Amino acid sequence: MTIAGSVLALLVCRDRACRAAFEADGTREAITDLRCEDCDGPLEAVGWADSEPYHGARGHIDVRRAA
């Protein structure tokens, strides 16, 4: 049994000409569906961490641009 909690992910754009990076906080399913805000290309998760499940709502996702 898997509990769908929030995770924090570090994502990078797979387009090497774009190289945008984002931090996303939400369910793993929602994070996997994210697209790059700059080029609409696929993102690759390069790191995962547990996040406090303070959002509660399933499917909610919070995306920030990472340095």
Contact residues: Zn ion, CB under 5 A: 13, 15, 18, 20, 36, 38-39, 41
DSSP reduced 3-state for 30 = helix
Q: Tokens representing 24?
A: 């996303």
Q: How far is the CB of 28 from Zn ion (least distance, A)?
A: 21
Which residue number, 42 or 55, has a Cβ lying nearer to Zn ion? Answer: 42
Which residue number, 15 or 23, has a Cβ lying nearer to Zn ion? Answer: 15
| Cα 46 to the center of its chain, rounded Å | 10
Cβ–Cβ < 8 Å for 34, 66: no
Which residue number, 16 or 54, has a Cβ lying nearer to Zn ion? Answer: 16
